Amino acid sequence: MTGPAEWPRQAPAGGRGSADRRGGADRRGAGRPGGADRRAGGDRRGDRRPARPVADLPRHVAYEAVAAVHRDDAYANLVLPAMLRDAGLTGRDAAFATELTYGTLRHTGTLDAILGDAAGRDVARIDPPVRDALRLGAYQLLHTRVPAHAAVSSTVDLVRAVGPGATGFANAVLREVASRDVDAWVAKIAPDAETDPIGHLALAYSHPQWIVRAFAEALGGDLGETTRLLIEDNERPPVHLCARPGRADAVELADEVGGAPGAFSPYAVYLAGGAPGDLSAVTEGRAHVQDEGSQLVANALAVAPLDGPDAHWLDLCAGPGGKSGLLGALAAQRGAELTAVEVSEHRARLVTQATRGLPVTVLNTDGRTVGADPQLPEGHFDRVLVDAPCTGLGALRRRPESRWRRQPSDLPPLTRLQRELLSAALRATRPGGLVAYVTCSPHTVETHVTVTEAARRAGVPADFVDARPLLPAGMPGLGDGPSVQLWPHRHGTDAMFLAVLRRG
Ligand SMILES: C[S@@+](CC[C@H](N)C(=O)[O-])C[C@H]1O[C@@H](n2cnc3c(N)ncnc32)[C@H](O)[C@@H]1O
């Protein structure tokens, strides 16, 4: 397949593709989708035209990114920047390719249901390259202001490049998709909202049903709020910076980068856009990229009242080092030191980079070795963070493909690991010391159930501390305590969970 670097640079973002100008040629393929679908992967008339130069580089880059996610299990946020760079896309073209990639991946479930109806067959039976091109086309038709004729013709051009022989099929399916707007499609194919509200929300807002159910449960069964959360998950997420205490001031940093100080975290700066990694504040170590919710939960551990010594802090799941960066900066101001534990070698190296110049010792080991590893003695640490590996359901807006990859079967091994790490953290803590248990998932099995079970099984006494006063005064929507659940639709943060325990 043609690689991005070889693609010609032609039409501007969202512009009219060459097939659009052909008009009648496309209409030859239009017809009953149920009939046209026989041609998927092999037009019976044969599409013998030689491969034409592709019309539209942003769409091809988006296609390559979406295909890499589905074909190679790639992560869009990792592959797309390199593809944009290789293709030389910047500015509006890069923004358009990014919007197409992320939007198509977020909406895949609903796009597939619509494409399946339009094609008269399950999308699983469409050749993968053609299927991905159709998803991109359907996304443009239903979720962007790209004119329908441009969305259809440019997608047919794309199909000609990636699945020759299926152009007639693609044309017919997309014209059927274009016959309704997204609301009309949802009305046609979604389960009834009264009799199957979860199924309806899942289809209407493009999330797997088990995730909608988990969100609804964590929100106390409030389906209105669940809907607001699902909508937020489908939005482009904001970029937050953390102004490192002692190295930068949030208000001054906001002025420097053209952003705005955060609503809640004293360290947060909201960025309007751009490439945060290129900012001098970031390259110089005065700030790092970090969701405001992550800042708040790490800060909560640092500000929690503590009697007795306060010199030894521990981050038991540190990679890639966001919270270690903030805790390390706070520890430096307070004359404390942080031990940062990370089991993955690569991620431990990232923690080392993220904490350079701070009083942080990085250990590349398993956090469950507390008591066995001489550097992780029992009963030693004053403040301990367990930012546990989790499903990440609270950060779906940042990882567009993740909702379709995660499965309910991921939960049992993860929750066992979470329990074991939290038990290890409690054992590592001195009597009277504090443990913050954090997940970027609101799934109650990973939050309340894990904390309660781990505290019960740890073999050391532990009491819940009310975490709400550890967050900024006046912060709304923190619930009844003692733990705290942050939400994108309430707080503009990822859905971070925080429980604080004091070892008896
Ligand atoms: C949610 S991430 C932590 C994010 C990090 N605190 C930050 O703010 O950048 C969980 C981390 O735990 C690590 N991990 C998983 N199992 C572990 C174990 N048994 N011991 C230590 N680290 C572990 C994972 O590799 C991953 O880097």
Tokens of 244: 């490192």
Least confident interval from 14-23, 259-268, 284-293, 443-452: 14-23
Which atom of ligand 1 is closest in space to residue 341's alpha carbon?
21
Ligand 1: centre distance to CA 263 (Å) = 27
Q: Whose CA is nearest to atom 15 of ligand 1?
A: 389
Q: Which uninterrupted H or E stretch holds 338?
A: strand 337-341
73 is in an annotated binding site: no
Ligand 1: centre distance to CA 342 (Å) = 6
Q: What is the mean pLDDT of residues 448-470?
A: 94
Neighbours of 382 (CB within 10 A): 18
Q: Which of these, 77, 130, 83, 129, lies nearest to 105 by C-alpha position?
A: 77
Tell me what pLDDT residue 49 has.
Answer: 42
Q: What is the mean pLDDT of residues 407-415?
A: 98
Ligand 1: centre distance to CA 440 (Å) = 12
Ligand 1: centre distance to CA 309 (Å) = 26
Q: Whose CA is nearest to atom 13 of ligand 1?
A: 317
Q: Whose CA is nearest to atom 10 of ligand 1?
A: 389
Q: Is 319 in the pocket of ligand 1 (CB under 6 A)?
A: yes
User: Would you say how long the chain is, in residues?
Assistant: 504
Q: Is 328 in the pocket of ligand 1 (CB under 6 A)?
A: no
320 is in an annotated binding site: yes
In the Cβ-directed half-sphere of 29, how many Cα atoms lie within 13 Å?
34
Q: Whose CA is nearest to atom 17 of ligand 1?
A: 343
Q: What is the mean pLDDT of residues 49-57?
A: 54
* Digit-coded pLDDT (tens) for 142-156: 999 999 999 999 999
Q: Is 368 in the pocket of ligand 1 (CB under 6 A)?
A: yes
Q: What percent of the chain has pLDDT over 70?
A: 89
In the Cβ-directed half-sphere of 220, how many Cα atoms lie within 13 Å?
4
What is the chain's mean pLDDT, rounded? 90
Q: Is 389 in the pocket of ligand 1 (CB under 6 A)?
A: yes
Assess whether pLDDT exceeds 60 at residue 46: no
Tokens of 26: 């496309």
* Digit-coded pLDDT (tens) for 66-111: 999 999 999 999 999 999 999 999 999 999 999 999 999 999 999 9
Ligand 1: centre distance to CA 139 (Å) = 35
Assess whether pLDDT exceeds 60 at residue 26: no
Query: Is 455:448 a contact under the CB 8 Å cutoff?
Result: no
Catalytic residue (one of 67, 84, 436, 440) = 440
What is the C-alpha to C-alpha distance for residues 201 and 208, in angstroms, rounded to an integer?
9
In the Cβ-directed half-sphere of 19, how many Cα atoms lie within 13 Å?
29
Catalytic residue status for 440? yes
Ligand 1: centre distance to CA 237 (Å) = 23
Q: What is the mean pLDDT of residues 289-301?
A: 98
Q: Is 47 in the pocket of ligand 1 (CB under 6 A)?
A: no
Q: Is 290 in the pocket of ligand 1 (CB under 6 A)?
A: no
Q: Please give the biggest Cα pair distance in the chain.
A: 82
The string of DSSP letters for 229-286 reads HHHHHTSPPPEEEEE-TTT--HHHHHHHHT-EE-SS-TTEEEE-SS-GGG-HHHHTTS
**1-25 per-residue burial string, b: 16 or more CB within 10 A, e: under 16:** eeebeebeeebebbbbbbbbeeeee
Task: Determine the straight-line distance between the first and last CA of the chain, rounded to whole angstroms.
Answer: 62
pTM: 0.89
- 192 DSSP assignment: P
Q: What angle do CA 395, 396, 397 make, to 5 degrees?
A: 90
* Digit-coded pLDDT (tens) for 180-235: 999 999 999 999 999 999 999 999 999 999 999 999 999 999 999 999 999 999 99
Q: What is the mean pLDDT of residues 373-394?
A: 98
Q: Is 320 in the pocket of ligand 1 (CB under 6 A)?
A: yes
User: Taking the CA atoms of the chain, what radius of gyration do you get in angstroms?
Assistant: 25
318 is in an annotated binding site: yes
